[in-house]
Structure 1
């Protein structure tokens, strides 16, 4: 036979379809690593460029930096002031609540003691005797006195019992104005009654216009004579507490009081455009 063409390469059991692909992978991996390095470098360059204003503008002498620092300080200062105010408010509220609790506790104890003393006083059946009218003390007001009896010798709150025991005068119950303790069964109560006391009601008479205090003063003076002054009464007290009405004005008493020719007079000074 003539020369024959070469046949196919011999088959090796160790070869596979993937063998031709293994070789080219090395250059690709080197390219991939190069791209990673470039990306990292670009990232750092970009980060540096973006943050360069911050990095290069931290100089405390730079006006912008100083303004930014001042603004930060202002924000911190306002926050601190707010916290201080909130702290002070909370502290004040707590102190107020403590004071209220103390006051409520004190009032509760006082009320409990008052009720206890009232029950004890009623149990002992203390009462008033020898009620007597005294002198007039001020306009339409008279003093009364009485003695509290049936007070045990061991009872050590006689003044409190006196102040808590009413007496009936002119059909009306009054509490004592003040009390005097001279010992058991000798506690004296004092009252000032300003109702149904006509003998103590003084009044003004003899209205007299004294005229202007002085030319151009703009003030006028009025004089009154005090009538029905009780015997032995304090004329100054009655002059100052006896009400007066004139020229459309009302006064609870005289502004100036004096005595002349055994009489008591009151003066008033008021504005008058005619003076």
Structure 2
């Protein structure tokens, strides 16, 4: 708060700048300002009787309805004084005149600087060159160490390369030696196999068939069995294998056995051949086919008597294996065989059931 005396000597309180919490408040007493008419109060700013202005207001303050257009300017000036708390006092500034140095002093300073620089330059350059030389020496030693390490590594690499070449040469020699040994072994093996083959051929050349005989009776239609004994089989040879592979000439043809049997007598092996050609005694045939009419629906019955059956032959085997042609159709054998006999002995007949659509 600010305390200001008015024209009548009374003290009015006005708010000042807000102080910080805990700060001490100050009381300021504004001196009375003389007015234009010689009184201590402020000059009137509005028309009216003095009684209407019996209450004095500080400069810049007054009733709101009676303020004039000068009030804001007075208020701003008064506010500045109130905020500062003290009347504004202009400060005087003592400015001294600057003085320039004389030319000889400037020249002396520059000369001194040049002298100092010229004097210190060799020492500074020597220190710099010494440091640079030490750096070069360190770098040179580092490169020298690298060269020595590289030389050592190259020497070690050369030693390893020499060892590798030597080992490769040894391996190449061993490979050639193995190849020569393999070729020699294969050559000896082939030579041995050739000698064994020649010996086997010579020994096998002595093996032969003896006692080729034809069986007394036919085996079946047009086939007779022949037998022979394999002889001169060398020791160590498989007689059965030699029997299966040893051909023999029968009726002008070379044939291997149909089967071989070991008789169990010192390697005695017998070979059997089923000869189905050039055996006229085993060639039976049918006289004529008699049509007996329809046997059943779709089947016609034929009869025929078997011819050229030799004495002692098995009529059932010969009858069932003798083929025939009926109405242009070939049949390997009859449907069945019967013996209708006679005063002369066996009379085999063949019976055929032939498909015939004419039989209903």
Q: With the length of structure 2 as denominator, give the TM-score of the two structures.
A: 0.41
- In the alignment, is the contact (CA less than 8 A) between 1:147 and 1:186 conserved in 2? yes
- Cα deviations across residues 96-150 of structure 1 (Å, max 9, x unaligned)? xxxxxxxxxxxxxxxxxxxx99983662321101111112111111111111110
Q: In angstroms, what is the RMSD of aligned CA positions?
A: 2.2
User: Contact (CA 8 Å) 1:118, 1:164: kept in 2 or not?
Assistant: no
CA contact (8 A) 2:286 2:304 kept: yes
Asked if residue 129 in structure 1 is aligned to residue 129 in structure 2, the reply is: no
* Alpha-carbon distance in 1 for matches of 2:201, 2:291: 58
Higher-RCO chain (CA-CA 8 Å, sequence separation at least 6): 1
Superposition pairs of residues 122-201 of structure 1, within 5 angstroms: 123-124=203-204, 125-134=206-215, 135-152=217-234, 154-155=235-236, 157-182=238-263, 183-184=265-266, 186-201=268-283
Q: Which residue number in structure 1 is paired with residue 9 of structure 2?
A: none
Output the CA distance in 2 between the equivalents of 1:118 and 1:136: 41
Unaligned runs of 5+ in 2: 1-195
Alignment of 1:79-90 (within 5 A): none
Answer yes or no: is 1:211 the counterpart of 2:286: no
Q: Which residue of 2 aligns with 1:32?
A: none
Among residues 238, 247, 267, which one is paired with 2:327 in the alignment? 247
- Correspondence list, 1:45-56, <5 A: none
Name 1:25's counterpart in structure 2: none
Q: Residues of 1 paired with 2:198 and 2:349: CA distance?
A: 48
Note the alpha carbon deviations across 1:38-93, whole angstroms, 9 max, x for none: xxxxxxxxxxxxxxxxxxxxxxxxxxxxxxxxxxxxxxxxxxxxxxxxxxxxxxxx
Corresponding residue number in structure 1 for 2:355: 271
Q: Residue 194 of structure 1: CA displacement? A: 0.9
Contact 2:292 2:301 in 1 (8 A): yes
Offset at residue 227 of structure 1 (A): 0.7
Q: Counterparts of 2:324 and 2:285 in 1: how far apart (Å)?
A: 8
* Alpha carbons 1:141, 1:193 under 8 Å: kept: yes
Aligned pair count? 157
1:15-34 superposed matches below 5 A: none
Q: Any unmatched runs of 5+ in structure 1?
A: 1-115
| Structure 1 residue 233 displacement after superposition | 2.2
8 A contact 2:243–2:269 mirrored in 1: yes
TM-score (norm 1): 0.53
The match for 2:307 is 227
Contact 1:147 1:185 in 2 (8 A): no
- Alpha-carbon distance in structure 2 between the residues aligned to 1:231 and 1:120: 47
207 and 226 in structure 1: CA distance in 2 versus 1, 3 angstrom threshold: same
Find the structure with the greater CA-based Rg. 2
CA contact (8 A) 1:150 1:185 kept: no
CA contact (8 A) 1:203 1:227 kept: yes
The 3-state SS of whatever aligns with 1:223 is: strand
8 Å contact 2:239–2:267 — kept in the other structure?
A: no
Q: Give 3-state SS (helix, strand or coil) of 1:213's partner.
A: strand
8 Å Cα contact 1:147-1:188 kept in structure 2:
yes
Cα pair distance change 1:118/1:163, threshold 3 Å: farther
